[in-house]
Chain A
Amino acid sequence: MHLPVSLVWLIPALPLLAAGIAALAPRSCRTLAAGAAIAAMIAAFVISCLALHTALADPGAKLVANFEWFDVGAGAMRLGWLLDPLTAFMCVMVTFVASLIFIFSTGYMKADANFKQFFCFLSLFAAAMLGILVANSLLLLFICWELVGLASYLLIGFWFHKPSAAAAAKKAFITTRIGDLGLLLGLLWLADSTGSLLFYDGGNGVLEVAALGSLASQVTVGGLAVSTAIGLLIFCGAVGKSGQFPLHVWLPDAMEGPTPVSALIHAATMVAAGVFLIARVYPLMSADLALPLVPLHALTVVAFIGAITALLGATIAVAQNDIKRVLAFSTVSQLGYMMLALGVGSWVAAIFHLLTHAFFKALLFLGAGSVIHAAHHEQDIRRLGGLRGRMRITFATFAIGMMALSGVPFLFSGFWSKEAILHAAHGWQVSHLPFGAALVAVVLTAFYMTRLVAETFFGTARTEETEHAHENSAVMTVPLILLAVGAVALGFLGTPAFPWLQARLLGEPEVHGHPLFESAGLMMLSIVLVAVGLGAGWAIYGRRPRVALDAVDPLAKAAPGVIAALGNRLGFDELYAATLGRLVTAGATVADFFDRYVWGGAVTMLARLGEFAGVVNRENDESAINGGFNVVSESFRDSGRAYSRAQSGEPQSYLRFIATGFVVLMLLVILGGGR
């Protein structure tokens, strides 16, 4: 059964409908809201599978269905839907992971008073994300992109009565808005120079040869090709949304939201949107590669930003003590990997890693949620410990996620996708620095994940709450098991011996005997690096587990300054507060000064003049004219008193007079024959 491309809009529309139902339902209709959200998500998953089936029938084709939104003057604003393997794979992944997260949420949020709103926001979030995936127009994509931003604001700040959550929501919204400004500028520039925003439009789209050729052949400031400049502006949006350096600061704070939200934001949706955007506009990003003379290629910037982010995130994660923050920085780092893969030219490796990462990171976050739920909202790994025996399913699935993330060889999906990225980075002609950064990040990833698991699940329970933790109900463990299966099985879609996914994404026939086999040395190297990371982590944290609550971290004992700096996230927040925050405050002070003294002074001077004239007038009045008018004014006062009873001070009573008068007038006009 095939899905016609004109029906692709159903995929985002169903969750949107569920969000509408949940929004209109009364607060007490908890089952209705959750049921609608889950049913819509599962239906969207089924439709996505149909879409995938359709797309795989001819992987090279771009199926589009464009339509006119509205017309202004001679032109028309056109939007459209797009179905190709990239869209289809992403839709299947998002709907599948989101369904599991929704189901998990029914358990996790059980006790929350705003249960209904939560599912409304979750559905809105998923709908906006799916809208990004199926959009065939940068404008439509941008609209959904902003909707994702709005929904993430609502979800991160879901517990808005906590000041930290409200601040984190604001921070996420504003930080991503900085990147979105770049995306908007790129969008406007693109529309201005090509006259269209449709990606594919039978030869007239912006990602098709004609438009790309003209974009790449024009030169703008600094000798950049126009396509490079537009690509970099669009990349700004991706930097904000995907938490890349230097706009990564919002992502760890977003942990203030409920844990299923963290799983949704950090695994399947929001952060994936940036990577997806770059993969979607990849023809535009790479249009300048053929030009030898431009000073800068857009993808070079992407690769370096990605490498910096990968290394930075992995380094900071080593010194975090909050179970969710470790995972957050690990997400930052893994997104850096994906950007690196995009930058070095292998967008297929990036999407492969995006898909596998979605599964194992959702698994890790939901596992963390399970731990937090069982331990009565304790998130500090120093206060957990010894949960291995108490929560067997959570421990087993979390360990699978941890091994997939660390890249333990052969069995786990993360190994294959990471290997594809490392291989692509190794073959990059421009520079080998990103490859080196990625290798260091491999060691660090294995190390901090080992630390996380050792601190949380091994040793002894270090607090009362942890002592009494026990496994959660099936509604929370079954999604974990399904995701764990995915975290293992998904790797087999894209192993070098069976590059099924890569071939489908590129729309080319499969090439068996992937070049990865030719550089087996590289694979050996990364396996050794993973082993070093795991071994070091186990040697430091696993062999002698923490006993006392306040025992000093072994690493902090060895290098207190470094760990303290890392624990403080290298002071990025403070840096931004000291520079950008100061700048804004200074601007506000200047504006305040002008307002208070310059404009205010002028106004005060005029007022003084008026006052002076008033004094003169009063003298004149009181001595000369007053007496005669007193009598008249007395009668005015009387009539005024009579009228003032109608002046109730309530605007609505005035409105009622107006409405009555309006009706009377209408009656006069109608009964008077309309003339």
Chain B
Amino acid sequence: MSPLQLCLLLSSLLFCVGLVAAMARSNAILVLLGVELMLNAANINFIAFWRYGPNPEAGTGVLFVLFSIAVAAAEAAVGLALVIAVYRHQKTIRLASINRLKG
């Protein structure tokens, strides 16, 4: 297998791990962790396609991923703030019991 395929395999595995965490965990913080994992799987794809792509000299891949990490940090801050806000109201962060938006 070529290195690119290995990278993609790694990122798909990471993505699946993240997806399962996001779907199956009941703790909101752990779900956020899963989301971060999926995001980082996408980052690995960026780096892999950049590194093994047609134009690895330009710093585009690294820069894109740096931006993406910065955005992810901001997103994690918002997510954790939401979790804290929910906790203050509901006294729980179990997703199963946070369903006041149900139709």
Which residues of chain A are near B31, meaning CB under 8 Å?
Answer: 651-652
Q: Which of B24, B100, B103 has the most CB of A within 10 A?
A: B103
Which residues of chain A are near B22, meaning CB under 8 Å?
Answer: 652, 655
Interface string of B81-103 (1 = CB under 8 A from A): 00000000000000110111111
Whether A650 contacts B103 by the Cβ 8 Å rule is no
Interface string of A132-161 (1 = CB under 8 A from B): 000000000000000000000000000000
Whether A648 contacts B99 by the Cβ 8 Å rule is yes
Answer yes or no: A643 CB below 8 A from chain B CBs.
yes
Which listed residue, A645, A646, A647, A659, touches B19 by the CB 8 Å rule?
Answer: A659
Whether B99 contacts A649 by the Cβ 8 Å rule is yes
Which residues of chain B are near A646, meaning CB under 8 Å?
Answer: 103
Answer yes or no: A674 CB below 8 A from chain B CBs.
no
Which residues of chain A are near B59, meaning CB under 8 Å?
Answer: 72-73
Which listed residue, A70, A649, A659, touches B23 by the CB 8 Å rule?
Answer: A659
How many Å from the CB of B38 to the closest CB on chain A? 11
**A656 CA to B22 CA, complexed, in Å:** 9
9 more contacts with CB within 8 A, not counting A72-B59, A646-B103, A652-B95, are: A70-B62, A644-B103, A647-B102, A647-B103, A648-B102, A649-B102, A649-B103, A652-B22, A655-B23
7 A-B pairs (CB sep. < 8 Å) = A73-B59, A649-B98, A649-B99, A649-B101, A649-B102, A649-B103, A652-B23
How many Å from the CB of A597 to the closest CB on chain B? 23
How many Å from the CB of A661 to the closest CB on chain B? 13
Which listed residue, B19, B62, B96, touches A650 by the CB 8 Å rule?
Answer: B96
How many Å from the CB of A32 to the closest CB on chain B? 25
How many Å from the CB of A468 to the closest CB on chain B? 44
Closest partner residue, chain B, to A74 (CB atom) = B59
How many Å from the CB of B15 to the closest CB on chain A? 10
**A105 CA to B38 CA, complexed, in Å:** 41
Q: Of residues 621 to 661 in A, which have CB atoms within 8 Å of B's CB atoms?
A: 640, 643-652, 655-656, 659
Which residues of chain B are near A652, meaning CB under 8 Å?
Answer: 22-24, 31, 95
- Chain A positions near chain B (C-beta within 8 angstroms): 70, 72-73, 640, 643-652, 655-656, 659
Whether A643 contacts B103 by the Cβ 8 Å rule is yes
Q: Which of A643, A646, A649, A659 has the most CB of B within 10 A?
A: A649
Q: Which of A640, A643, A651 has the most CB of B within 10 A?
A: A651
**A72 CA to B101 CA, complexed, in Å:** 46
Whether B23 contacts A650 by the Cβ 8 Å rule is no
Whether A645 contacts B95 by the Cβ 8 Å rule is no
Which listed residue, A73, A643, A651, A659, touches B95 by the CB 8 Å rule?
Answer: A651
How many Å from the CB of B83 to the closest CB on chain A? 12
**A640 CA to B22 CA, complexed, in Å:** 28
Assess A656 versus B23: contact at CB under 8 Å? Given A72-B59, A72-B62, A651-B95. Answer: yes
Whether A649 contacts B19 by the Cβ 8 Å rule is no
Which residues of chain B are near A648, meaning CB under 8 Å?
Answer: 99, 102
Closest partner residue, chain A, to B20 (CB atom) = A659
Which residues of chain A are near B103, meaning CB under 8 Å?
Answer: 640, 643-647, 649
Which residues of chain B are near A647, meaning CB under 8 Å?
Answer: 101-103
How many Å from the CB of A79 to the closest CB on chain B? 18
**A645 CA to B103 CA, complexed, in Å:** 7
**A643 CA to B103 CA, complexed, in Å:** 8
How many Å from the CB of B43 to the closest CB on chain A? 14
How many Å from the CB of B28 to the closest CB on chain A? 9
Which residues of chain B are near A656, meaning CB under 8 Å?
Answer: 23
**A330 CA to B25 CA, complexed, in Å:** 51
How many Å from the CB of A652 to the closest CB on chain B? 6
**A72 CA to B60 CA, complexed, in Å:** 10
How many Å from the CB of B5 to the closest CB on chain A? 15
Which residues of chain B are near A70, meaning CB under 8 Å?
Answer: 62
In the A-B complex, the 3 residue pairs with the smallest Cβ-Cβ separation, listed nearest first, are A649-B102, A644-B103, A649-B99
**A56 CA to B102 CA, complexed, in Å:** 72
Which residues of chain B are near A651, meaning CB under 8 Å?
Answer: 31, 95
**A659 CA to B59 CA, complexed, in Å:** 32
Which residues of chain B are near A640, meaning CB under 8 Å?
Answer: 103
**A651 CA to B100 CA, complexed, in Å:** 11
Which residues of chain A are near B100, meaning CB under 8 Å?
Answer: 649
How many Å from the CB of A512 to the closest CB on chain B? 58
Q: Of residues 48 to 103 in B, which have CB atoms within 8 Å of A's CB atoms?
A: 59, 62, 95-96, 98-103
**A647 CA to B24 CA, complexed, in Å:** 18
**A650 CA to B96 CA, complexed, in Å:** 6
Closest partner residue, chain A, to B102 (CB atom) = A649
Q: Which of A646, A655, A659 has the most CB of B within 10 A?
A: A655
Closest partner residue, chain A, to B62 (CB atom) = A72
Closest partner residue, chain B, to A73 (CB atom) = B59
How many Å from the CB of A69 to the closest CB on chain B? 13
Which residues of chain B are near A649, meaning CB under 8 Å?
Answer: 98-103
How many Å from the CB of B26 to the closest CB on chain A? 8
How many Å from the CB of A146 to the closest CB on chain B? 16
**A70 CA to B47 CA, complexed, in Å:** 13
How many Å from the CB of B74 to the closest CB on chain A? 20
How many Å from the CB of B54 to the closest CB on chain A? 19
Which residues of chain A are near B102, meaning CB under 8 Å?
Answer: 644, 647-650
How many Å from the CB of B101 to the closest CB on chain A? 5
How many Å from the CB of A641 to the closest CB on chain B? 8
Closest partner residue, chain A, to B19 (CB atom) = A659
Which residues of chain B are near A645, meaning CB under 8 Å?
Answer: 103
Closest partner residue, chain A, to B24 (CB atom) = A652
Which residues of chain B are near A650, meaning CB under 8 Å?
Answer: 95-96, 98-99, 102
How many Å from the CB of A16 to the closest CB on chain B? 22
Closest partner residue, chain B, to A641 (CB atom) = B103
Closest partner residue, chain A, to B63 (CB atom) = A72
Which residues of chain A are near B96, meaning CB under 8 Å?
Answer: 650
Which residues of chain A are near B19, meaning CB under 8 Å?
Answer: 659
How many Å from the CB of A22 to the closest CB on chain B? 21
How many Å from the CB of A135 to the closest CB on chain B? 24
**A54 CA to B102 CA, complexed, in Å:** 69
Which residues of chain B are near A659, meaning CB under 8 Å?
Answer: 19, 23
Closest partner residue, chain A, to B59 (CB atom) = A73
**A72 CA to B95 CA, complexed, in Å:** 41
Q: Of residues 1 to 49 in B, which have CB atoms within 8 Å of A's CB atoms?
A: 19, 22-24, 31
**A153 CA to B98 CA, complexed, in Å:** 33
How many Å from the CB of B93 to the closest CB on chain A? 12
**A644 CA to B96 CA, complexed, in Å:** 17
